[in-house]
Each structure stands twice: as structure tokens, then as C-alpha cells.
């Protein structure tokens, strides 16, 4: 059956010429020369073994064969136009963002309302996970991950450096008589004691502390340790950018100026082949702009 189908380029030219009844207007519509249109029509007529147009001095008319094929060809192209148009609308309708839980809860979610207002045709769907995403098998448009930003086949845009510091509730600091020096840390519970960040933080402040080996216990999400810290249960190591509102509201304080950079960052990443997809470009420009403005 496919052997009976002439070249699609020639069929496309015929459809435009039959609809416009003009080789000149068809050429303009398709971005071709009039000679190229005439050539494709001649190819099609030779393939079919029948003329499709009556070439009159000042007008173009369809032959009987042309009249029979024209509406059916236009109907087929209308179906294709509708299918590809609907696919484009479907593609732009939803942006799937796969991100880390703390980034989603503490930074992205509070700002998404503003993004949705400025991009009402695209709904953002958030997924939270830390596993590796296979863009070729999963319906995911962009990811936010921590690391060095070097992932094969992906374009990465740096968002926030992974810099962390000690935070506690004001009530806890007051209850233990204040936290004036790192030595005062012995007065409070360290939340998530098995996290390697504690070793790095105490090394940065030059104060030894008896800690279990890193990863001796499951590492909790920052949102969980922050909630425990605000409840006065202990001190937590947190990324300040994720808890700016809690700090501004006085629910968390930073007793010391010691901030540790672990060498990683949070990155927005997506397949290089999809860098020009409108919804991805729009989200990339927005999130990078939000990071820059704070």
C-alpha cells in the first residue's frame, strides 16, 4: 500500500496549489520558488500518469483527476495539522519538574504561584525524589539536583551553592543560657548527628566534638530537621537560602557566623536536545532570574 503513495513533498505542493489555484501563491505559502512548485507538480503528475491542472493563460484549473484528489488531500493535511497542533498544545500544557524535597518545599513551592500567574497556559507538576531520572523513559521535563552540575547529555544551570550553617530556635538558645562559642554546643542536642556535615562544621570552627561516624544513621530531610529545630529539640545544619522566611520571622537564628561550603550546588538540568522547548526555556529564564534577585 505504501508503494502507491507518491513523495510527500510533491503531495504537499499539490495540496497548496489546489487550494490556492495558483502556483505563485502556493510557492509563497511554502517558501519555495514557482519553478520548484511546477517541478513537484510535474513529478506528481508523472507518478500518477494523469494531469492534475489545466494550465490556462491567466488562470489555473483542476482537471477531473485533480478535482477528485484535491479535497481528499486537503482533508488528510487538515488531520495532520490538527494532530500536530494539538500535540504542541499538549506539550506546553504541563511542565513536569522533578526536584529534591527540601528545594521544592522551602524554595520552589512558595514561588510557584507567581510563575503560574505569569505563565497561565502551563501547569507545573512537582515531583520530589533524589534518584537518577532517565529522560528517555520518564515523563520529566527538568530536574533540580545537587552536585557539580556535570551530567552527560544534560544542560545545567547553577542555582544555589550548598552552603550550610548552624540554626536553632531562639527559645532553645535562651533555655541553655546562650550559645556564645562552639564549646557551648555541648549544651544542646545535635539533630541528625550521623550527617557528615557536622564533622565539616566542627572542623571549620576549630572545635573537636564527639560524633558518630558519618552516615551512622539515616540522614533526615532538611525540612524535618528544621521543624525539629524550631520546636526547640536541638541544633540543625541548614542551607540559609531555604529558610529565609523562618529566619526573618524569628523562628530560627544563626548563633555563629560559621558557614561551610561543601563544594556542591543545586542545579537546574534538562536534556540538551530540549533546550529550545518553549516551556523549558520559560521556566529556566524564570528560575535563574528568581535566584539572581534573591
pLDDT band for 39, please (50, 70, 90 cuts): very high
**pTM for the full predicted model:** 0.69
pLDDT over 90 (residue 209):
no
Distances (CA, A) of 105 to 28, 94, 223, 228, 244: 52, 20, 8, 16, 13
pLDDT at 3 over 70: no
What pLDDT is attached to residue 12?
93
Name which of 238, 231, 235 is nearest 211 in CA terms.
Answer: 235
pLDDT value at residue 78: 84
pLDDT range class, residue 216, cuts 50, 70, 90: low
The per-residue pLDDT for 213 is 61
Residue whose C-alpha cell reads 534518584 in the numeric block? 131
Task: Quote the pLDDT of residue 241.
Answer: 93
**Whether the predicted pLDDT of 257 surpasses 70:** yes
Collect all residues with Cβ–Cβ distance below 8 Å to 260 and sequence separation of at least 6: 163, 164, 165, 197, 200, 201, 204
Please report the domains of the chain, with CATH numbers, ordered by start residue: 2-91 (1.10.10.10), 100-294 (3.40.190.290)
Average pLDDT, integer, range 210-229: 76
Amino acid at each position: 500500500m505504501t508503494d502507491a503513495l507518491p513523495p510527500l513533498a510533491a503531495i504537499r505542493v499539490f495540496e497548496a496549489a489546489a487550494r490556492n489555484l495558483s502556483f505563485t501563491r502556493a510557492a509563497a505559502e511554502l517558501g519555495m520558488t514557482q519553478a520548484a512548485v511546477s517541478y513537484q507538480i510535474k513529478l506528481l503528475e508523472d507518478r500518477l500518469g494523469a494531469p492534475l491542472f489545466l494550465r490556462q493563460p491567466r488562470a489555473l484549473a483542476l482537471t477531473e483527476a485533480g478535482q477528485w484528489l484535491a479535497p481528499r488531500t486537503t482533508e488528510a493535511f487538515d488531520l495532520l495539522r490538527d494532530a500536530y497542533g494539538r500535540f504542541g498544545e499538549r506539550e506546553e500544557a504541563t511542565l513536569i519538574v522533578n526536584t529534591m524535597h527540601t528545594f521544592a518545599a522551602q524554595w520552589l513551592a512558595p514561588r510557584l504561584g507567581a510563575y503560574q500567574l505569569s505563565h497561565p497556559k502551563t501547569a507545573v507538576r512537582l515531583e520530589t525524589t533524589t534518584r537518577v531520572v532517565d529522560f528517555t523513559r520518564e515523563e520529566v521535563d527538568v530536574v533540580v539536583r545537587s552536585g557539580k552540575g556535570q551530567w552527560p547529555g544534560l544542560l545545567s544551570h547553577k542555582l544555589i551553592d550548598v552552603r550550610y550553617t548552624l540554626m536553632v530556635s531562639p527559645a532553645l538558645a535562651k533555655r541553655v543560657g546562650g550559645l556564645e562559642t562552639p564549646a557551648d554546643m555541648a549544651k544542646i542536642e545535635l539533630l541528625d548527628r550521623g550527617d557528615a556535615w557536622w564533622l565539616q562544621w566542627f572542623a571549620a570552627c576549630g572545635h573537636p566534638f564527639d560524633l558518630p561516624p558519618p552516615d551512622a544513621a539515616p540522614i533526615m530531610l532538611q525540612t524535618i530537621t528544621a521543624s525539629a529545630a524550631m520546636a526547640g529539640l536541638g541544633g540543625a545544619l541548614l542551607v540559609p537560602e531555604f529558610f529565609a522566611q523562618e529566619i526573618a520571622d524569628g523562628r530560627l537564628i544563626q548563633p555563629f557566623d560559621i558557614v561551610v561550603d561543601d563544594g556542591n550546588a543545586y542545579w537546574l538540568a534538562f536534556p540538551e536536545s530540549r533546550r529550545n522547548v518553549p516551556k523549558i526555556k520559560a521556566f529556566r529564564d524564570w528560575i535563574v532570574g528568581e535566584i539572581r534577585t534573591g
